[in-house]
Amino acid sequence: MSLAIPATSATPQQNWLEKLGAGHIILAVALVLYPLVASDFFLTQIGGYSLIFGMLGLSLMLLAGYGGMVSLAQITVAGIAAYAIAILGNNNSSILGLGWPWWLAVPFAVLAAALASALIGWISVRTEGIYTIMITLAIATATFYFAQQNYAIFNGHSGYAGIRAPVFWSVNWRDPRPFYYLCLGLAALSYAAVLYGSRSTFGMTLQAIRDNPRRMRALGYHVTAHKVFAWLLAGVIAGLAGVLLVWFNGRVSPGTIGVDAAIDVLIIAVIGGLRHPIGPFLGAVVVVLMQTFAIDIVGAERFNTLIGMVFLVIVFVSPDGILGLWGRIKPHLAQESLRPGP
């Protein structure tokens, strides 16, 4: 696996403004002010959707970037949270729908997703590299077929519909603007948590395990436990994204967790770049914009070809996605191309 990521350790004794970085502040202000200029369509279909898929990509980036485990089952984990919301809360498919309030259903859904993720991790950490991709893909596909065939719990092919974001604090979270801020808030929280976590003792240990598991084992670290814990954390983020996704769509069906969706998450993370937590969000914006507007460029139904082609070109040209491209172009822009590379 060549996913080496230079550890970005913060030098001590900075004030909080420097620590946060100018880029983050500008980005945060822009994202908070975005609803002032965006229409409802751009707010939810582009903004909210990108943030949700960015979170899914982020959970993959956490595993792949810091742990060296490329998972294709992140959408499966999100789907478990989404199905849990449909089953525990209200839906209009006249099957199950236990009617729990949101503040009870959401934690349970996220917990279920995290536990499922830990289980998937526990199964797949026995293997390495491409084997992990193959096993997580097999798990994702098997879950998809199971959800499609099971009518007692998953309501088979049609899944659940009529799931609504709750109304609380006298805010209707279904409306575009509150929903956008909800997505933004959770995405920012996940992003900050991953960034903070990557510099914590656990994050450092995980990265060391990625680089040399044998040495870490010899030093007395419990390699499997660290990896499974990383899966658990990634499961929390993917679970939150799953909750947002089911509120966004208002429905969940086997198609939501199909192989196409699983691969979409991988595409998003790879196109954006797996070297930094911001990468998946970048990739999500690019892919969501393409999915929305490619129809105008290449005609009705061929946008999968376009996305596949863009993905291929990016994998061929820059293994680190857009972030890697940017890293390569930046010195040229600053007319520093004569300086030897890092």
Partner 1 sequence: MSLLDQPSQTLSESGGITGRQAWGLVGLLAAAVVAWLVFAVWPDWLNAILISKKAFVSAILNGITLAGLYFLVASGFTLIFGLMRNVNLAHGSLYLLGAYIGYEVTNRTGYWLLGVAAGFAVLAIVGVVMQVFVFRPLEGDDLRQTLVSIGISIVAADLMLAVWAGGTYQITTPEWLDGALTLPVITAVRSNGASVFLTYPLYRVVVLAAAIVIGVGLWLMLHKTRVGMMIRAGVDDRAMLQASGVNVHAVFAIVFAVGAGLAGFAGVVGGSALSVAPGEDVRYLLASLVVVIVGGMGSITGAAIGALLIGLAEQIGLVYFPTYGIVLTFVIMVVTLAVRPQGIMGKAR
- Please report how close the Cβ of residue 33 comes to partner 1 at its closest, in angstroms: 36
Q: How far is residue 291's CA from residue 84's CA, in Å, rounded to a whole number?
A: 28
- Please report how close the Cβ of residue 71 comes to partner 1 at its closest, in angstroms: 13
3-state SS, the chain, equals: CCCCCCCCCCCCCCCHHHHHCHHHHHHHHHHHHHHHHCCHHHHHHHHHHHHHHHHHHHHHHHHHHHHCCCCCCHHHHHHHHHHHHHHHCCCCCCCCCCCCCHHHHHHHHHHHHHHHHHHHHHHHCCCCCHHHHHHHHHHHHHHHHHHHHCCCCCCHHHCEECCCCCEECCEECCCHHHHHHHHHHHHHHHHHHHHHHHHCHHHHHHHHHHHCHHHHHHCCCCHHHHHHHHHHHHHHHHHHHHHHHHHHHCEECHHHHCHHHHHHHHHHHHHHCCCCCHHHHHHHHHHHHHHHHHHHHHCCCCHHHHHHHHHHHHHHHCCCHHHHHHHHHHHHHCCCCCCCCC
- Residues binding partner 1 (CB under 8 A): 1-3, 70, 123, 126-127, 129-131, 133-135, 137-139, 141-142, 145-146, 149-152, 259, 263, 266-267, 270, 301-302, 304-305, 307-309, 311-312, 315-316, 319
- Please report how close the Cβ of residue 297 comes to partner 1 at its closest, in angstroms: 15
- Please report how close the Cβ of residue 139 comes to partner 1 at its closest, in angstroms: 7
- Please report how close the Cβ of residue 232 comes to partner 1 at its closest, in angstroms: 18
Which residue's CB is nearer to partner 1, number 255 or number 331? Answer: 255
Strand partners, 168: 171
Cβ-in-10-Å burial (0-12, 13-18, 19+) of 45 comes to middle
Which residue's CB is nearer to partner 1, number 87 or number 236? Answer: 87
